[in-house]
Amino acid sequence: MAGLGKGSKTVGNNSENSQNSVGTKNKSCDYDFSGKNVLLCEDHPLNSEIAVRLLNRKHCEVDTAENGAIGIELFMNSKIGYYDLILMDVRMPLMDGIDATKVIRNSNRADSDIPIIAMTANAFDDDVDSLLESGMNRCLAKPFEPKELYKAIFEMTAI
Amino acid sequence: MSNLIDSLNERGCDTAGALERFLDDEDLYAQFYLRCLDDKYFVMLGQALLDGDIDNAFDYAHALKGVIGNMGITPLFNLTCEIVEILRAKTKAGVVERYNRLMKMRNEYKSLLNY
């Protein structure tokens, strides 16, 4: 997996911050994630569909899970290294993103260090730190801007 | 379809940001717009408030916040944020009044599709 290490915060829906964090607009349009497999854990179908469309636009292959438990099942049943990254909604029914992340991190799989990006509507709350402490690597604020999503995926999956 | 976009812009919605998520496809945006405004959580939130079930009410309001935010319907989003924060504090003060406003506003936004 790509160099992970400590988690970091990626500020989301703030134009000033996004301009600071993205580089050039042209660069954001050039991302091509062909060959990358993403596991998207998001409970709301509308949000999930939007994210899938954005990921497909950059040639990501995407599997979706409507809660953390299903996400874990998909991950655990996949070949080692199949998924390059997990996009994890924080609040989901049955099992939330924090618990799902802990299960993945504590698993014995060789790819248990897979990059996990949290997606939260409360990215400016204090609980962002707890997301990172749970093992997530980054936090994207919802609604995210496509270029921020692409940039985060690029940085987390680049070798 | 630009009538919808124009109407939303006049109401302070962030259609530019939302359309970016829809690859600038206004027809697709309109489809999701209707789905968003018909979301089951509008009704479920009302029922949870009637039942005094703050925990579920918070979950439903939070889900609405995410969806409405994705659609860039800013006035509706802001009102939903207010409801979320009240429920997050485990209170109900003013939340029913806001919910009623939310539903009224939702219907007004749905009617924009008829223009």
pLDDT of residue A44: 94
User: Is A142 near chain B, with CB under 8 Å?
Assistant: yes
Name every chain A residue with its beta carbon within 8 A of the beta carbon of B59. Answer: 91, 93
User: Is B17 near chain A, with CB under 8 Å?
Assistant: yes
Q: Which residue has the tokens 């160099």?
A: A3
pLDDT of residue A123: 62
Backbone angles phi, psi at A127, to 5 degrees: -75, 0
Inform me whether the pLDDT recorded for A119 exceeds 80. yes
Task: Select from A43, A121, A146 the Cβ nearest to the Cβ of B21.
Answer: A146
pLDDT of residue B113: 86
pLDDT digits (tens, 9 = 90+) for B9-27: 999 999 999 999 998 999 9
CA distances from B106 to B46, B65, B74, B84, B113 (A): 13, 13, 12, 17, 12
- Average pLDDT of span A114-137: 84
How far is it, in rounded angstroms, from Cα A48 to Cα A59? 16
Using the CB atoms, write b or e for B57-90: b if 16+ within 10 Å: bbbbbbbbbbbbbbbbbbbbbebbbbbbebbeee
pLDDT of residue A128: 83
Look at A121 and A27; give whichever has higher pLDDT: A121
pLDDT digits (tens, 9 = 90+) for A6-39: 344 443 333 333 322 333 334 446 899 999 999 9
pLDDT of residue B49: 97
Look at A144 and A110; give whichever has higher pLDDT: A110
pLDDT digits (tens, 9 = 90+) for A39-89: 999 999 999 999 999 999 999 999 999 999 999 999 999 999 999 999 999
Q: Nearest residue on chain B to A14, judged by CA atoms?
A: B17
ipTM: 0.89
Q: pLDDT tier at B114 (50, 70, 90 boundaries)?
A: confident
pLDDT digits (tens, 9 = 90+) for B25-54: 999 999 999 999 999 999 999 999 999 999
Inform me whether the pLDDT recorded for A111 exceeds 50. yes
Name every chain A residue with its beta carbon within 8 A of the beta carbon of B35. Answer: 46
User: Is A52 near chain B, with CB under 8 Å?
Assistant: no
pLDDT of residue A130: 84
